[in-house]
Amino acid sequence: MESTNQSLRPITTKLNDLGNIEIGGCDVIDLVEQYGTPLYVIDETTLRSVCRDYKKAFEKYDKMNMMFASKALCTMATSAILHQEGFGFDVVSGGEMYTVYKAGVDMKRVVFNGNNKSYDELSLALELGVGRISVDNFFELALLDEIAKAQNKTVDILLRIAPGIECHTHEYIQTGHLDSKFGFDLTQIDEAIELIINNYTNLRPHGLHAHIGSQIFETKVYHDEIEIFVREIARIKEKYNLVFDEINIGGGLGVKYTEEDCPPSTFEIADVIINSLTESVKKYGTDFPTIFIEPGRSIVSTSGVTLYTIGSSKQVPNGKRYVAIDGGMSDNPRPSMYQARYHAEVGNKKEDVSLQTVTIAGRFCESGDILIKDIQLPELAEGDVLCVYNTGAYNYSMASNYNRVQKPQMVIVNNSKSDIIVNRETLDDLISHDRIPDRLK
Quick count: other Cβ atoms within 10 Å of Cβ 415?
10
Strands 304-315 and 321-325, how do they pair?
antiparallel
Distance from C-alpha of 372 to C-alpha of 357, rounded to nearest angstrom: 11
Distance from C-alpha of 293 to C-alpha of 284, rounded to nearest angstrom: 22
Cβ–Cβ under 8 Å, residues 233 and 286: yes
User: Hey, is 57 helix, strand or coil?
Assistant: helix
User: Hey, is 235 helix, strand or coil?
Assistant: helix
Q: How far is CA 329 from CA 180, 372, 392, in A?
A: 26, 11, 15
The count of C-alpha atoms lying within 13 angstroms of the C-alpha of 170, restricted to the half-sphere facing its C-beta, is: 13
Selection from 399, 403, 441 nearest residue 422 by Cα: 399
Q: Which of 74, 167, 262, 365 is catalytic?
A: 365
Which H or E run includes 297?
A: helix 297-300
Q: Would residue 404 be called left, alpha or beta, if left means φ above 0 and alpha means ψ between -120 and 50 degrees?
A: left
Known catalytic residue at 365: yes
Instruction: Give Rg (Cα) of the chain.
Output: 23
Torsions phi, psi of 422, nearest 5?
A: -140, 125
CA terminus-to-terminus distance, the chain: 66
Cβ–Cβ under 8 Å, residues 208 and 243: no
Q: Which residues pair with 314 in a beta bridge?
A: 322
Query: Catalytic residue numbers?
Result: 365
